[in-house]
């Protein structure tokens, strides 16, 4: 899979441990809109997806995470690689640890009807909701996002940059 870009804050000098949390994320385009998770309480957009468990591969995680966060069912034969983003920064949870996350982005199609979400508590607290967003609105909203947690700002900045790449590379055809 091609590397889209890297985010390396180099703010972890002296850390002796690395915590790796790979993730799989869906790029779902319907006509001129993009399916995203909108955090209604924190006011940002993110790609549906999340962490890959030790006992699953990237595709299994993608399908599971999209279903959990949006209620949408991925059509497995539609999945195609887009690219990955490597993120490295000091952990916000463990003083002596580097947080390293390879984010794998996949284009995919979904069945038309959404089922129920199965959200974690933090996702419920954030008010996760499936939206088919205008990509310019999502880019603008994420660009304005501010948080008391710099760790989250890096995550939202990552997805803003991926949205900009998709707009330039993919959505010009729409």
Other Cβ atoms within 10 Å of 43 Cβ, number: 16
Q: Which two tokens stand for residue 147?
A: 């948080």
The reply to whether the predicted model has a pTM over 0.75 is: yes
* Alpha-carbon 55 to chain mean position: 20
Residues forming beta bridges with residue 99, ordered by sequence position: 19, 89
- Beta strands 49-51 and 23-30, pairing class: antiparallel
Mean pLDDT of 63-87: 97
Q: What are residue 21's phi and psi, to 5 degrees?
A: -135, 85
Domain borders along the chain are 3-173
Q: Nearest CA to 59 among 45, 72, 75?
A: 75
pLDDT digits (tens, 9 = 90+) for 83-137: 999 999 999 888 899 999 999 999 999 998 889 999 999 999 999 999 999 999 9
Element spanning 7, H or E = strand 3-8
Look up the CATH number of domain 3-173: 3.90.79.10
At 174, the pLDDT band (50, 70, 90 cuts) reads very low
Q: Distance between CA 139 and CA 69 in Å, rounded?
A: 20
Residue 13 has a pLDDT of 94
Q: Distance between CA 135 and CA 174 in Å, rounded?
A: 12
């Amino acid at each position: 899979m091609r590397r889209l870009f890297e985010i390396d804050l180099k703010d972890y000098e002296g850390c002796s441990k690395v915590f790796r949390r790979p993730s799989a994320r869906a790029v779902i385009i319907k006509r001129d809109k993009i399916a995203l998770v909108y955090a209604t309480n924190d006011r940002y957009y993110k790609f549906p997806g999340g962490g890959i468990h030790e006992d699953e591969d990237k595709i299994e995680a993608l399908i599971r995470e999209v279903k959990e966060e949006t209620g949408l069912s991925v059509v497995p034969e539609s999945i195609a690689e887009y690219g990955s983003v490597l993120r490295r920064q000091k952990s916000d949870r463990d003083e002596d640890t580097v947080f390293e996350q390879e984010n794998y982005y996949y284009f995919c199609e979904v069945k038309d009807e959404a089922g129920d979400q199965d959200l974690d508590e933090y996702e419920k607290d954030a008010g996760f909701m499936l939206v088919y967003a205008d990509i310019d609105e999502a880019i603008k909203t994420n660009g304005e996002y501010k948080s008391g947690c710099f760790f989250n700002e890096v995550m939202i900045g990552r997805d803003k940059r991926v949205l900009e790449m998709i707009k330039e590379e993919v959505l010009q055809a729409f």
